[in-house]
Amino acid sequence: MREEPELVKKLGYDKADDSSDDTDKRIEIQQATGRVALLTTAEQEEFYETMLERYKKKVDFKIQAGEYDLEMETEDLCAETLEKRPTIAAKGIGKSVFSQPTYEEVCMVNVLKKPFTKKELD
C-alpha cells in the first residue's frame, strides 16, 4: 500500500502503514480489499490487476529462490531401483491393496536441490 499513496487516500486511510511485520501487512491487505468496493468499477479492476501482478511476481521470485511450497512440481529424479525386499509380508486376506506385502527399496536418485550447508546440518 505504501507504493500507492493516492489509493490509500481513496480507501479512506490517513496514510499507508510503514510496518514491515508480515502480520500487519496481511491485516492491511484485508482492510484494503474490504474497502475496494467503495471505488469505481474501473478503479476496482485496476486494483485487482495490480495486486494479481504483484502476487505473480512474488510467486515467481519464490519459485526461483526454491522457497515456494504452495504447490507441487513434477521433477524427473531418474530413479533406479538397486534393491527391493519385502518389509511386511502379505496378509492373504481378501483382495484389498492393504493386504498385499510392503516393500523397502534402495534407489539411486538424482537430487535436484542444492546440497545442505554446514549450518543446516548442525
Per-residue pLDDT in tens (0 to 9) along the chain, 122 residues:
566 777 767 777 655 555 556 666 666 777 777 788 888 899 889 888 988 998 999 999 998 887 888 887 788 888 999 999 999 888 777 788 888 889 999 999 988 777 788 888 88
pLDDT given for residue 77 in this prediction: 87
- List Cα–Cα distances, 91 to 31, 78, 85, 88, 99, in angstroms: 57, 32, 16, 9, 5
pLDDT at res. 83: 96
pLDDT at 15: 55
The per-residue pLDDT for 39 is: 83
Cβ burial of 31 (10 Å; 0-12, 13-18, 19+) is: middle
Q: Residue 60's pLDDT is what? A: 93
